[in-house]
Structure 1
Amino acid sequence: MERKAKYDYAFKLECVELVLKKHYSDRYVSKLKQTARWNIRKWVSFYKAYGKIGLLPRMNQSYSAKFKLKVLNIIEKESLSLMQAGIRFNIPDISIVLKWKKDFANFGLVGLQPKQRGRPVSMSNNKGKKSKSEKPLTREQELLKENERLRCENELLKKLQALIQARKNPKP
C-alpha cells in the first residue's frame, strides 16, 4: 500500500508558477494557498533545478550507504545547508539528510547501511506452542501428567458445584 502525497503535482506547479511567472512572493502564495512558506520555497528550488520533474512525488526511495556518505562529505566539505544538499542531490526532504547525519555521528558507517524493512524474520505465529518430544514418556511422567489432569478436573467440578449452589440459594 502506497502512501498518498500531501500535495499533488498540479497544486505544486500552480504555486511555483505564481511565484516565478506572476512574481508573487513566497509569503503571499503561502497565505493564498494556505500552506507552509518553506514548502513554496522548496518547490520553487526543485523546479528551478529539475524543471517540472522536480515537483513529482518521490516516496520510499532507498539510498546506498556510499551515496549517503558522499552527500555527508560534500555537505561538510562545501558547507552546504541541508536544503542546498537536498536540492543538489534530489532528496525530497531535508529530514532524511538530518537523520543520516545523526546516524553517522552515532554509529559511523554502520549507521548508514540500509535498514531491513518490515517484520523481523524471527517472529513467528507459533511462539506459545510447545513442540512434542519424539521420545515416549516414562511411567512416572505419565502418572504425574494424569495426576495434574485429575487435579484440574477436580477444581473445575468444585467451581461448577459452587455456581450451582449460588444459583439455588441467592443471597438477599
Structure 2
Amino acid sequence: MGRKEKFTLEFKYQCVLEVLEASQSERTVSKKYNINQKLVNDWVRIYRYNGLNDLLPKKYTSYDSNFKLKVIQTIEEENLSLFEAGLRFGVPSKKTIIDWQRNYAKFGINGLKSKPRGRPSTMNKSEYKQLKSKKVLTKEEELLLEIECLRCENAYLKKFNALVQEEENKRKNWGASHCRIKA
C-alpha cells in the first residue's frame, strides 16, 4: 500500500474549473488525471460551498466537547449529511464526525471529552514537586542522606572490585592453561 497522495491547491482548483467552467464531467477529469472521482466530486462541492480557501490542506485541530456536541445535534436536527456538516463546521474528515457520533452514543457527553495524548509520566506531580522543592533539610536528614549515598558508593565499588578480580582470574587461568610447556 503506497503512501497517501497529496494534491496542491492549484491542481485542485484546475480540476474544479474544468468541471464547472469547461463543462467536463467529474468522471472525465478524474480519468484525465488518473485520480479518484470521489476526490474531484468532493473538491467541486467544497468549492461551491465555501470557495477556494477550503481547498487548502487542513491543519490538525483540537475540538472541545461543546463544539463536538453542537455538530452532532445540528446533524440530527437539520438532517445534514456528514459531508455537509464537515463543510459547515470546518471539520475536514467525515471519519472524525463518525467517531464523535459513536463515542457520544456509547458514553454520552463524557465520550466527547478529549483524552490526554502521549505517554503518561512515571512520577506523579506531588512526588516531583517534593524532589524539586528547596526544602531545608535538618542535620539528621542530611546525615541519613549522606549515609545512604555512601552505602550506594560502597556497594558500587564492591561490585566493581569483584568484576576486576574476576577478569584477573580469567586472564591467569587462560594464560596458565595456554602457556604450559610440554615435557
Q: Same fold (TM over 0.5)?
A: yes
Contact 1:45 1:87 in 2 (8 A): no
Q: How does 1:106-121 map to 2 (within 5 A)?
A: 106-114=106-114
**What SS is found at the alignment partner of 1:169?**
helix
Question: Hey, what does 1:160 align to over in structure 2?
Answer: 164
TM-score with structure 1 length normalisation?
Answer: 0.70
Classify 1:97/1:156 alpha carbon distance in 2 versus 1 (closer, same or farther; 3 Å). Answer: same
How many Å separate the matches in 2 of 1:138 and 1:166?
42
How many Å separate the matches in 1 of 2:146 and 2:24?
87
Contact 1:47 1:55 in 2 (8 A): yes
How many Å apart are 1:67 and its aligned residue?
A: 3.0
How many Å apart are 1:121 and its aligned residue?
A: 8.0
How many Å separate the matches in 2 of 1:46 and 1:76?
21
Q: How does 1:132-151 map to 2 (within 5 A)?
A: 134-135=137-138, 136=140, 149-151=153-155
- How well do the aligned residues superpose, as a CA RMSD in angstroms? 3.9
Classify 1:122/1:8 alpha carbon distance in 2 versus 1 (closer, same or farther; 3 Å). Answer: farther
| Unpaired segments ≥5 residues, structure 2 | 179-183
Q: How does 1:70-149 map to 2 (within 5 A)?
A: 70-114=70-114, 131=131, 134-135=137-138, 136=140, 149=153
- Larger Cα-atom Rg: 2
Greater relative CO, 1 or 2 (CA 8 Å, sep 6+)? 1
Question: Hey, what does 1:17 align to over in structure 2?
Answer: 17
Question: Hey, what does 1:8 align to over in structure 2?
Answer: 8
TM-score with structure 2 length normalisation?
Answer: 0.66
How many Å separate the matches in 1 of 2:142 and 2:71?
67
Instruction: Identify the structure with the greater helix proportion.
Output: 2
How many Å separate the matches in 2 of 1:154 and 1:65?
58
How many Å separate the matches in 2 of 1:148 and 1:86?
61
How many Å separate the matches in 2 of 1:95 and 1:166?
65
C-alpha distance after superposition, 1:58-114 (max 9, x if no partner): 322344433322221122233332122223333222122112112212332233345
How many Å apart are 1:27 and its aligned residue?
A: 2.8
How many Å separate the matches in 2 of 1:117 and 1:151?
40
| Unpaired segments ≥5 residues, structure 1 | none
Classify 1:27/1:68 alpha carbon distance in 2 versus 1 (closer, same or farther; 3 Å). Answer: same
How many Å separate the matches in 2 of 1:34 and 1:49?
25
How many Å separate the matches in 1 of 2:162 and 2:84?
76
How many Å apart are 1:22 and its aligned residue?
A: 2.3
How many Å apart are 1:19 and its aligned residue?
A: 1.7
**What SS is found at the alignment partner of 1:24?**
coil
The count of residues paired between Structure 1 and Structure 2 equals: 165
Question: Hey, what does 1:169 align to over in structure 2?
Answer: 173
Question: Hey, what does 1:51 align to over in structure 2?
Answer: 51
